[in-house]
Amino acid sequence: MTILENLTVNDLERMIDARIDERLISLLGQFELSEDALFDFDFDAEAPDTRTWEQVKQDIERDRWTPPPGAKSSLALLREART
């Protein structure tokens, strides 16, 4: 068992992230994409957005995710987590 007083904040964050990943995989299954493929870490929030409204809508549609058939609803997952 890990002693909390010897953990750094980064260690704790990694442990929490790993546990969340395990739980999500057990509930939803493994996904094909890595986190690097999902997130653009070079995003500059201060830079002006030069996309047109159509491009923004296309980006939203491209990034939309639909759970696999038979997956539990958000409400069911919340209820399960609270029991």
The fraction of the chain above a pLDDT of 70, given in percent, is: 81
Q: Share the mean pLDDT of the chain.
A: 84
**Quick check: helix, strand or coil at residue 73?**
coil
Q: Which pLDDT belongs to residue 65? A: 84
| Reported confidence tier of residue 46, pLDDT bands at 50, 70, 90 | confident
Q: For residue 75, is pLDDT > 80? A: yes
| Reported confidence tier of residue 41, pLDDT bands at 50, 70, 90 | low
Cβ–Cβ under 8 Å, residues 24 and 67? no
Amino acid letter for position 61: E
Domain coordinates of the chain in residue numbers?
1-41
DSSP per residue, 3-68: -GGG--HHHHHHHHHHHHHHHHHHHH---SS-HHHH--TT--TTSPP---HHHHHHHHHHH---PP
